[in-house]
Amino acid sequence: MGALVGLGFGLGCLLVGRALTGAGRAPVVAVPPARHRVDRSLVALCLTSGVVGAVLALAVTQVTAIAVVLGVLAGYLPLALAQGRVRRRRRELAEVWPEAVDDLASAVRAGMSLPDAVAALEVRGPAALRPAFAAFALDYQVSGRFGDCLDRLGERLADPVGDRVVEGLRIAREVGGGELGRLLRNLSGYLRDDLRTRAELEARQAWAVNGARVAVAAPWVVLVVMSTQPSVVARYQSAGGVVVLVTGAVLCVAAYRLMVRLGRLPVERRILR
């Protein structure tokens, strides 16, 4: 058993090192898209987490079936954390967009043209958005095509709220004249109202998401604690015990996904792709 635990731990460390350093990958001529690189790293991290979780569970419980189930659940953990980071990033960007649009309206009111006002956000805008607008400023200096630069800005932001702002700026550019300032102020007010409404709904529904997490984690924590007893270990090493574990894992995952889906607001879809 000690050799098996050591072998699994060593394999997990090897996978972690390969995922972090990229060692062992074949050289490529063209650099793949960033999303594909992230996907491969995430898969490697999930495999590593699953192997390490299974080995640790096997060392504690001495039951192969429990170790496999807990290893699968541990392998899903990096994916859940990555999805949480994506949601937090969208929330953070949504919170700073009204400020950015207010800066645009102030710059236009001061007499700046709309392209110059957008480019000025690389200095005056929120810190989270400055890199994207710095790239826009450079792009506009090179090409001078406002519409094409807006399209590339939307691709860099990759954010649903950013898509709405980009389309609002495009419409504002076409309308121009005295309506430009009013359109920007209306856009800022709409973004603030939408952000306030979503924040209130998320606060009310947070209990459902937290309850789902507790309800899923509690049975497995109890199982790990009880598996220290020899009688429990003997029961779960039988065929009936394996069926109970697999059925429980499937039901827990299905119930968790259902609770999260019911307790979370729909994800806003991007309009620019």
Tell me how far apart the alpha carbons of residues 107 and 94 are, in angstroms, rounded to a whole number.
21
> Under 8 Å CB-to-CB from 259, ≥6 apart: which residues?
208, 209, 211, 212, 215
- Report whether pLDDT(30) > 50: no
DSSP element (H, E) containing 122: helix 121-124
Per-residue pLDDT at 23:
42
Q: Is the pLDDT confidence value at 242 over 70? A: yes
* For residues 76-93, average pLDDT: 83
135 or 269, higher pLDDT: 135
What is the band of 272 on the pLDDT scale with cuts at 50, 70, 90?
A: low
Long-range CB pairs of 108-111, under 8 A, 24+ apart, other chains included: 108/180, 108/181, 108/184, 109/181
Give pLDDT, residue 138. Answer: 92
Split at pLDDT 50, 70, 90, the class of 31 is very low
pLDDT in the model for residue 3: 46
Q: For 126-182, how does the pLDDT look when each residue is reduced to its tens digit (9 = 90+)?
A: 888 899 999 999 999 998 888 889 989 988 888 888 888 888 788 877 776 567 778
| Residue 228 to residue 82: CA distance in whole angstroms | 33
Whole-model pTM: value is 0.61
The CA distance from 261 to 255, in Å, is 10
pLDDT (average), residues 103-125: 87
**CB atoms near residue 178 (< 10 Å):** 7
Sign, Cα dihedral of 75, 79, 84, 88: positive
pLDDT of residue 2: 52
pLDDT class of 35 with cuts at 50, 70, 90: very low
Q: List, for residues 178-230, the tens digit of each pLDDT value.
A: 677 787 788 888 888 988 888 888 887 777 778 878 888 888 888 888 877 87
More confident residue, 265 or 9: 265
The C-alpha atoms of residue 38 and residue 83 are separated, in whole angstroms, by 13
Instruction: Report the candidate in 109, 113, 94 with the shortest Cα–Cα distance to residue 163.
Output: 94
